[in-house]
Structures are given as C-alpha cells and as structure tokens.
Chains A and B, each alone.
Chain A
Amino acid sequence: MVLVLALGDLHIPHRAPDLPAKFKSMLVPGKIQHIICTGNLSIKEVHDYLKTLCPDLHITRGEYDEDTRYPETKTLTIGQFKLGLCHGHQVIPWGDLDSLAMLQRQLDVDILVTGHTHQFTAYKHEGGVVINPGSATGAYSSITYDVNPSFVLMDIDGLRVVVYVYELIDGEVKVDKIDFKKTASIHTAH
C-alpha cells in the first residue's frame, strides 16, 4: 500500500501566500510515500516544504517555476501502476480530455496527472485515469477566478487505486473518493 500525494499550481507567493491552514495540518510527515507535483510552486521554499513531507518528490515544470531544471514531463512506476506527470500548459486545448489522452498514450502511463486549469477533474479513460488535482492554494488562473483549494491523495495497492480528493469548500475540507481498478488485460494491451 502506497500513498501518493498529487498537487500543483500553488503559485506561492505570487497568487497565494501559503497552503490553507487546514491542508497544512493534514499534511504530516510519515504517511505519504511519494509526492508528485505538477508544477508552478513557484519558489524553492515550497519545494523545500514538500520535501519535509516526504523526501520522494517528483516535480514537472510549470510556466512560472523559478527552477528551470524541472523536466517538462516525468513518468514513474509505483507498484503496478505507471504514472505520468506533466504541468499541462503545453497540452492544448488546456484541460481537454482528448488531448490529455493523447499525452497519456504518448507517455504510456496508467495514470496521468496534469495541472494548470486549477480545477479538480478526474476521468477514467481507456483503462487509465486522467487526474487534475487542481490548485492546492486555490490560486486564480488565467481561466478561472473562483477556485477551491484542492489536492489529491492516491492510495495505490496492487491493481487497485483509490483516489481521495480533498477540497476546501467554505472553510471545510471535503473528501471524496474514486475507486479505480486496473485489469491485467488492459495492462497487457498497452
């Protein structure tokens, strides 16, 4: 059983001062095994903070990131799942499922995590999942102004992944859960 925290688009300090306090109190070291971050942190301090939660940190580069060394895309394998990571501003139109599915096929991943739209979305698509964790700080984007802070925690266990969605709505943390099972046949089909 592996817990993977997925978040992005924090835009600290340009569009938000910090993570919401409620999120910060929930994110404690010791529980999470991996962090994947889609980008736009945007400063190194946020990177350091994430490192304190979990040393295994994977970041792709957003358009506002100071650190230019982050890759555009990244793939990693956790358990039986292959995860793809991309900020998403490169995929046009932004947040479009078909475009994202193209990227998913390109990277040959089961789970594709992208950001940039600041809107939480999760699609089951072609035996895989496409997830956008939204903005962890609720920062505005070029598309939307009214953004609820949200992030995603994936519980990967064998062929099964449970996606917990944490969303801060009116000062309360709402949790949702999405189950996803990968079948062996689909895996081989890839």
Chain B
Amino acid sequence: MPPALMNPLMPPPPPPSVSVSAPPELEGFDDVSGRSVTQNRRFGDLRGLQWRVDLGVLPSESSTSIDDLRRVTANCRRRYANLRRRLLVEPHIPKDGSNSPDLTMDNPLSQNPDSTWSRFFRNAELERMVDQDLSRLYPEHGNYFQTPGCQGILRRILLLWCLRHPECGYRQGMHELLAPLLYVLQVDVERLSEVRKLYEDIFTDKFDGLLYQENDLSYSFDFRKSQDLLEDEIGSHGNAKVKSLDELDPALQTIVLLSDAYGAEGELGIVLSEKFMEHDAYCMFDALMSGVRGSVAMADFFSSFPVAGSQTGLPPVIEASTALYHLLCLVDSSLYSHLLDLGVEPQYFSLRWLRVLFGREFSLDNLLIIWDEIFASDNSKVEKSVDDNIDWGLRILHSPRGAFIAAMAVAMLLHLRSSLLATENPTTCLQRLLNFPENINIKKLLEKAKSLQARALSVDISSPSPLIIGYHLQSKSVMTRSQTLPSETVSPKTPVNLLTDSYWEEKWRVAHEAEELKQDGIEQQIPTRKKGWTEKVKNTLRRAGSDPPPSRIKNGKKESKVVRRNILEALHKALGPEEEAEQMDCHEILCKQENLSEAAEGVQQNDNSKGDNSYSSDDRCPSGNTGIEESSSVYSDSTSPPNEANDHEITSQGSSVASNLYLDECDETADTSLSDPPLPVSDHPESIPETSESTDVDVDKSENIPQMSGCNNNDPGNSATHPKEKKQNKFQWFWKFGRNTVEGISGKVGAASEPTKSTSSCSNQSNSQPPVSSTTSEHFTSVSSKGDSVDQNVMGTLKNIGQSMLDHIQVIESVFQQDRNQGVSVENLSKNILVGKGQVTAMAALKELRKISNILSEM
C-alpha cells in the first residue's frame, strides 16, 4: 500500500487510557512486512484480532467472510454473557424477582455448600485472591492496568474462568497471561478510534449510504469488486480526504467493516468493540488456557498432576521442562551437562518461564512480539511416526506451538550461554537464569527460537529422552535405579546367566558407537568433541538410552582404565606369549573401539612381521573408518534416545544370541575390507541388514569367494529368529575362508551361537589368546561386577569373555591367513600406506589381549 496513505496513520498517538508507549502498535501498522512474513496473518495489523484467529476463537480460514467473523464473535460474547449471568452470583438480588423458596438453605449463614450464599462467599474468597495479584499487575504500566475499569474486567474474567474450571482454580500467574490479551484488544480499539477520527465521515455516513444499497450483501459485494481498483486509485488520492469507503485501503476497509454497527449481528457483532472487550478477552483467555483442540494448554502448566494420557507420569510443566532440557541437550550438550553438573534442574527456572509464557522475562512490548510468534505457530498435534516410541512422548513437543515454546526457552538459555557456563554454583546460575537481561535483541532471539523449533519438530526428538526422564528418576534416588536395572537386564526370553556377558558387551558397544558417531561429527553434538574422552563417554552414555546406569558406567569407565593397565602388566609377566593364535576376533572388537584402533593396527603389523599376512592390516583400517561412518548413519536412531523398552527388548532378544553371531559377522565383513563395525547389533536390526548384505555381496565380488550369497541371510533383524541359519552361514563362510583354523572356529562359533549353552560351552579351549578384546572385556567385567545381580555370575562371565575372545582371535587370524593366501594386490597398496606407526602398537595390544584372555578363560 502506498506510504502516502499510510502516513496519516503512522503516528498513532498513544491512546489516552493507554499511556504506555506501544511500539508493537507501531509495528502493527507496518503490516506490509507483517503480512509478507506469514500469509495466513490476515489481520497482521490488528494484533488482537490476529491473536483471536490464532488462538482459535475466530475461524482461521482466510475465506471466512467478515459476516462470519461477526457471527462467531457474537456467539462467543453471548456465551460469555450467559456464563457471567450464571456464575457471578449476587445473592441478595433474587434472580427472578421472587423470593428464594427455601430460606433455611439460602441465607447468609447457611452451611450448605450449594446455596447461593456459600457460592457467593467462595467467589468472594477467590476474588480477594485475584485482587491481591491484580493490584500488583504491571506496576510500570499502572495507568492502564491499575485503573478500576481494567482491574474489574480482569477480575471478572479470572473469576469466571476459575469458576468455570474448578479443577484448576486460580493460580498465581494466570493474571499475567490474561493481561496482555486484554491489552492488545485495547490497542486494537484505540486504533479503531484513531481511524474513526481520521475518517469520520465514513463512519457516520455509513447508515445513509446503506439506504442507497439494497442490502448488506450487495453492499459488501460492491466493496469487494472495487478492491482491485483501489490500489491504483489511491495513489492519486494521496492524502486527500477520502470520501467513500471504497477509496480506503483494504486494511482500513476491514476495520470499518469490522466495526460496522449495522453489519451481521448488529452491535453485538462489532468485532472491534470496546464494549465487549471483556467478552473477547475471556474468549481468548479461555482458548489459551484450554488450548482449543491443540496440545498446548496453558492450564496444564498450572496443574500439579499429570495430564490424563501423559506417558511420563510427570506434571505437564515438569514434562515440558524435561523436554526443554532434552532439546538443549541436543543443541548444546556442553551447556546441558554444565547445568546438569551444577544440579540446576530445568523446572527451577522454566516453571516461571513457561507458566506465564515468558511474561516475566520480557517487557510487555517484547512479550507481545514473542506471543505473536507463539500464537502464530500451529497448536494442532503433529502425528509422528514414532509409534513404538510414543511411550516416552513429551507432549509439548507434539505441536509446533509447543515446540516453539520449548525452543524459545532454549534460545534464552543459549543467549545466556557464556554467563551460565561461567557460573560455578547453582545459586549464581539460577540467579542469572531468573534475571534475564532486559536489553536483548528480540529479533535475534526469535530467529534462533525458530530454527530450534524446526529442529525440535524435525528430529525424532518428540518421542524420546528416556534418559532425561531417567535422569529425573535417577536424581530422585539412586536406590531405585539400581534396583530397577537388574530387572531390566533379565529379559523374559533369555536365561540370566546367558545374558550377563552379552548384555554388557552390548551396552558397551552401544555406548561406543554413539561416541564414534559423535566423533565423526555427524549432525550431532560437535561441542562434546572438545571434551575429554571420559566425558564424552559419559555424555553418550547418558544419551544413548541410559542402558547401563550412568553412574556405574562412569565408575566402571574410570576404573577400568586403571584396571586394564594393571591387568595387562600383570599378565605380561605371568603369561608366556602365545602369539600365533589366530586373531580374527580382536579385529572386530578393534573396530568397535576407535580409541583402540591404533593399537590394533600395531598388532596386525606384528602379525605381519611374523609373516602372517600383511593384508589384514590394510583391511582393518578401511573397515574401521568406513565402518564408523556407516555406523553413524545406522546409528542415528540409537543416539536419538530410543526408548528403553525397545532397547532392552532387542538387546535381550538379540544380545545373547546375536552378539556372538554379530561379532563373527562383523569379522567377516570387516576383514573383507568392508566397513561394518560393531554395531549392527543392537538397536535397529532392520536397518542394518541391507548394509551387511551389500557388504557381503561386495566381498564376494572383490574377493572371489564362492557361495557368499549364503551370507545374505544374515539379517540381523532375524537374528533372534534365525540363529541357526546364521550359524550355518558362518560355517560356510569360514569353511571357504580359513583353511587352517576352520575346524576350531566352526566349533566355537557353533557353541557361541547356541543361546542356551553359550556361557557354559567353553569346550573349545583352543588357547589362542585373544588380544585387544581383553581390554573391552575388562570394561565389561568391571562394569558388570558392580551390577547387583551379576555378582554370582562374574566368574562365569569372565570365562565366557575369555572364551569368546579366543574365538574371535582365531577368526581374525584365519582371515589374515586367508588374505595372505589370496594375495590381493590392491589391498597391499593401501596397506603400505596405512601400515605406519600404528601397527606396532596394535601388535603389542594384541599380545596383551591374548594374555588376558588366557587368564580369563582359565578362571
């Protein structure tokens, strides 16, 4: 619209009753930009009207005619008027003029709770409470909010709402949600009066004009038709006095039509009406509190009980706080862990943020802008395909509006990031959180929030976070956690003793892969990279589904390092080197542990130097790297917290059977220069099969191994159901593959893959000493030894681990030999490049591992 015409409107003198200077109002006038931002912002220049549309009070379809708007408005007002008549009791004035029939019940001293008088006294009580808060509402804008008229409106609305929703009652903070709503309505009305003053003749002459028209319909029809021409005409008109409605720009026309006392529903239908501001404000407030058919209902934030259907069993506001931290964790894990370390729980500050929708943190003007965005976000539930993860759903993240609220909070946290990170104790941290700086760039903050909102909605985020909730529970009591875990480890389908070793292996692997994923910097959590390894592990453990109890793992982690070293040294002395055992398995485990990869290389070099094969080392490295990448892609699901139930199910199903199998499988693929680390195992078996299959196929081609097609059956997803198939595949594979060691390996594999026997089946004491895997096994054992339920099984576990390590080592070695025999030239090339320094250390590590596994198996 031409600025010329806008000019007379541009300086909206602050309305007399609203002495607050209202920049939002100014911005409202700038509706050119406002509208271009969002198309559905039909009344971008009339904030109150726009909010009413956004909140669902008025129909949001852009096709809705002005008349429809007026009708809906009138209906809302009627409802409120009825409510007010019904609920606001004035006992001393008989409603129908007749005396109350039963004076015994209806007298001021009646003890009957249903009597009008006792209702009256209850209302009076409520009113006093409301008044206490209202009298302190926005003291800085006191000359509007503290006027008796405004206070009366606010009081009545709050009173009615509370009476209408006795289950909620009045809670402090509600008045601060309501006040801005009334304020924007007031601003709208002020604007209307401005327009009216400027174009007085249009408003006054309208009735006469109507006489010339046959009826309203044709009248509005004409108006619409001429709308197109308007833009051209206006330019010439300029500032000249506008003679007819048609010559006004559309925005003004809307205002005029909306305030036409002769339109649909007459005076009651005047959409912008000072008289019915109270009614309108109530409708908006009600819509905001009950979250009209949406998932974010502000009323929930005031309730201290979990909402029906809540999966977390937490009060909604706590749940929302949890969601907030979850989002923060995804976005900025270092800040997250800092807050966590300080023990600053989200509800300490988010309670205040969320309950009044940031009303306390920003000035009224900025608040209106923020609410613009919040209300503009759709409140309808987004159906996600999380199905099985739905148990952990955080409701606030199910709708764009909720996500935006959470994102806004996180953006505020990020805004304070540096100062928060600088805090050393929770008190100062909270002080900074609760004294949000006043002079902030609201636009920037909103932009950040918007990007975070997109993030929150896009990622699987909405379902997850068993860990965070788990964290909640954990923080409540460590006892419960340690008690619950053992029961989790015991899955219905697998015997306990079977589970123990494979279970912990499983956990460990999950944690490691999550870490690897992170290190690869794949779309998540780069910041953690800078931290120490242990910290990373901590984080990943927290994130990766709280499978192993974090505290335990943490301890286990730290200790295990020490323990590992000690044991290795001890073993060095104690054991004679049995180097030549075949070490296929160590290979695979190395892949899993990135930090150990170098050592593994060294080991392989060692093997090479002994004339085993130089090829394998080549293989290993590429497999390690690519494997990690692959794992990241596969694993994106697992890092986004899978729900615990799933995890455990799968692990319990798969781990006992599959873990062993998988190890072997991994060996196959890895050794054959295929990337495929450890992970296919745990969380999402379905996604993995393709990779493993394809890799297998590739292997066939490149290495000319016949009948590899059999490997295609190795669907990890089927692991639980087809253990035998796999086993057989393995056998075939190995048969073709290794010549020397095949017999032994096949026996071992068979033993390992038998779910029920695997622990006890140490029949193959083939003594080839597994290398690196021992270190991992140390982790497992140190961890598992702390498990309450595992104590008796420790010995068995150790034996099993030793046994399995032996198996793995044999497999690896067989592969080495195979490689050597086949003599692939290409690999040699790459190997030469990679051989470098790492191989020495790897060799040493293999040796040590072998010793350790020996000890273990002998235990």
**Most B Cβ at <10 Å: residue of A3, A26, A175:** A175
A174 contacts across to B, CB distance below 8 A: 104
Closest beta carbon of chain B to A2's beta carbon, Å: 10
A183 at interface by CB-CB < 8 Å? no
For B92, the chain A residues whose CB sits under 8 A away are 1, 155, 157, 160, 162
User: Would A176 and B103 be within 8 Å (CB), given that A157-B92, A160-B92 are in contact?
Assistant: yes
Decide if A155 touches B108 in the complex (CB within 8 Å): yes
- CB atoms of B121 and A175 under 8 A apart: no
Q: CB-defined interface of B74-116 with A at 8 Å, one 1/0 digit per residue?
A: 0000000000000000101100000100011001111100000
Are B121's CB and A30's CB within 8 A? yes
Q: Provided the pairs A155-B92, A157-B92, A160-B92 are in contact, do residues A25 and B111 lie with their beta carbons within 8 angstroms? A: yes
Q: Nearest-CB distance from B613 to chain A (Å)? A: 94
Cβ of B94 to closest chain A Cβ, rounded Å: 10
Q: Which residues of A contact B109 (CB under 8 A)?
A: 26-28, 31, 153, 164, 166
Residue A51 lies at the interface, judged by CB distance under 8 Å to chain B = no
Report A-chain residues with C-beta under 8 Å of the C-beta of B104: 173-175
In Å, the complex CA distance between A12 and B837 comes to 107
A157's nearest neighbour on chain B, judged by CB, is: B92
List the B side residues contacting A44 at CB < 8 Å.
none
Number of interface residues of B (CB under 8 A): 12
Q: Shortest Cβ distance from B104 into chain A, in angstroms?
A: 5
B121 touches A31 (CB 8 A): yes
Chain A residues with CB below 8 A from B110, complex form: 26
Q: Cβ of B90: which chain A residues have Cβ within 8 Å of it?
A: 1
C-alpha gap A93/B110 in the complex (Å): 36
Nearest-Cβ distance from residue B127 to partner chain A, whole angstroms: 12
Q: What chain B residues lie within 8 Å of A155 (beta carbons)?
A: 92, 108
- Once A1-B92, A155-B92 are accepted as A-B contacts, the answer to whether A31 and B108 lie under 8 Å apart by CB is yes
Q: A165-180 interface mask toward B, CB cutoff 8 Å, 1 = contact, 0 = none?
A: 0100000011111000
Which of chain B's residues have a CB closer than 8 A to the CB of A153? 107-109
Instruction: Determine the distance from Cα of A25 to Cα of B93 in the docked complex, in whole angstroms.
Output: 26
A175 touches B111 (CB 8 A): no
Q: In the bound complex, what is the Cα–Cα distance between A174 and B110 (angstroms)? A: 11
Q: For A25, what are the chain B residues with a Cβ–Cβ distance below 8 Å?
A: 111
Q: Write the nearest CB–CB distance from A52 to chain B, whole angstroms.
A: 15
Smallest Cβ-Cβ distance to B117: which chain A residue: A31
Q: B108 to chain A: which residues have CB within 8 Å? A: 3, 31, 153, 155, 164
Contacts of A30 in B (CB 8 A): 121
* Distance of A29 Cα from B56 Cα, bound (Å): 44
Q: Which residues of A contact B103 (CB under 8 A)?
A: 164, 175-177
Cα(A173)–Cα(B108), bound, Å: 13
Cβ–Cβ < 8 Å partners of A173 in chain B: 104
Q: Which residue of A is nearest B93, CB measured?
A: A157
Question: Contacting B107 at CB < 8 Å: which of A1, A157, A160, A175?
Answer: A175
Chain B residue nearest to A160 in the complex (CB): B92
- Complex CA–CA separation, A25 to B109 (angstroms): 9
Chain A: minimal CB distance from B100 (Å)? 8
C-alpha spacing A157/B93, complex, angstroms: 10
Residues of chain B within 8 A of A31, CB atoms compared: 108-109, 121
Q: How far is the CB of A128 from chain B (nearest CB, A)?
A: 20
Instruction: Give the distance to chain A from B113, nearest Cβ to Cβ, in Å.
Output: 13
Chain A positions 122-160 with a Cβ under 8 Å from a chain B Cβ: 153, 155, 157, 160
Do B111 and A164 have beta carbons less than 8 Å apart? no
CA distance A68 to B103 in the complex (A): 38
Contacts of A28 in B (CB 8 A): 109
Q: Which residue of B lies closest to A173 (CB)?
A: B104
In whole angstroms, what is the CA distance A31 to B125 when docked? Answer: 10
Report the Cα distance A153→B106, complex, angstroms: 13
Residue of B nearest to A154 (CB): B108
Q: Are B121 and A164 in contact (CB under 8 A)?
A: no
Residues of A within 8 Å of B121, CB to CB, are 30-31
CA gap between A162 and B117 in the complex, in Å: 13
A174 to B109, CA, bound (A): 12
Nearest-CB residue, chain A, relative to B104: A175
A173 and B111 CA atoms in complex are apart in Å by 12
Chain A 1-54 residues near chain B, CB threshold 8 A: 1, 3, 25-28, 30-31
Tell me, in angstroms, the Cα distance from A164 to B90 when the chains sit together. Answer: 16
Binary A-proximity of B425-452 (CB < 8 A = 1, otherwise 0): 0000000000000000000000000000
Q: Which residue of B lies closest to A158 (CB)?
A: B92
**A31, B121: Cα distance in complex, Å:** 7
A29 → chain B closest CB, angstroms: 12
Residues of B within 8 Å of A3, CB to CB, are 108
Docked Cα-Cα span, A31 to B90, in Å, equals 15
Question: Could you say which residues of chain A place their CB within 8 Å of the CB of B111?
Answer: 25-26
Chain A residues positioned under 8 Å from B107 (CB to CB): 153, 164, 166, 175, 177
Question: Please, how many angstroms separate the alpha-carbon atoms of A88 and B540 in the complex?
Answer: 89
Least distance between A117 CB and chain B CB atoms (Å): 23
Q: How far is the CA of A41 from the CA of B804 in the complex (A)?
A: 97
A52 and B92 CA atoms in complex are apart in Å by 25
A1 contacts which chain B residues (CB < 8 A)? Answer: 90, 92
Within 8 A of A (CB), among B828-857: none
In the complex, the chain B residue whose C-beta lies closest to that of A179 is B99
Residues in B neighbouring A160, C-beta threshold 8 A: 92
Nearest residue, chain A, Cβ from B99: A177
- Closest residue of A by beta carbon distance from B105: A175
Q: Which residues of B contact A164 (CB under 8 A)?
A: 103, 107-109
A162–B100 alpha-carbon span in the complex (Å): 12
How far is the CB of B117 from the nearest CB of chain A, in Å?
8
**Bound-complex Cα distance A31 to B110 (A):** 11
Residue picked from B90, B92, B99, B104, most chain A C-beta under 10 Å: B92
Instruction: Determine how close the nearest CB of chain B comes to the CB of A157; give it in whole angstroms.
Output: 5
A102 to B690: give the CA distance in the assembly, Å.
109
A144 to B90, CA, bound (A): 39
Report the minimal beta-carbon distance from B584 to chain A, rounded to whole angstroms: 85
- State the CA gap A175–B115 with chains docked (Å): 14
Give CA–CA (A95, B223) in the complex, Å.
79
**Which of B103, B109, B110, B121 has its CB near the most chain A CB atoms (within 10 A)?**
B109
Cα distance A174–B103 when bound, in Å?
Answer: 8
Which chain B residue lies CB-closest to A176? B103
Interface residues of B in 384-401 (CB under 8 A from A): none
The distance in angstroms between the C-alpha atoms of A49 and B663, with both chains bound, is 86
The 10 A-B pairs with the shortest beta carbon distances in the complex, nearest first, are A175-B103, A26-B109, A175-B107, A155-B92, A164-B107, A157-B92, A175-B104, A177-B103, A3-B108, A153-B108
- Cross-chain pairs A/B with CB under 8 angstroms, 9 sampled: A26-B109, A31-B121, A157-B92, A157-B93, A162-B92, A164-B109, A173-B104, A174-B104, A177-B103
Question: What would 11 more interface pairs be, CB under 8 Å, given A3-B108, A157-B93, A175-B107?
Answer: A25-B111, A26-B109, A31-B109, A153-B107, A153-B109, A155-B108, A157-B92, A162-B92, A166-B109, A177-B103, A177-B107
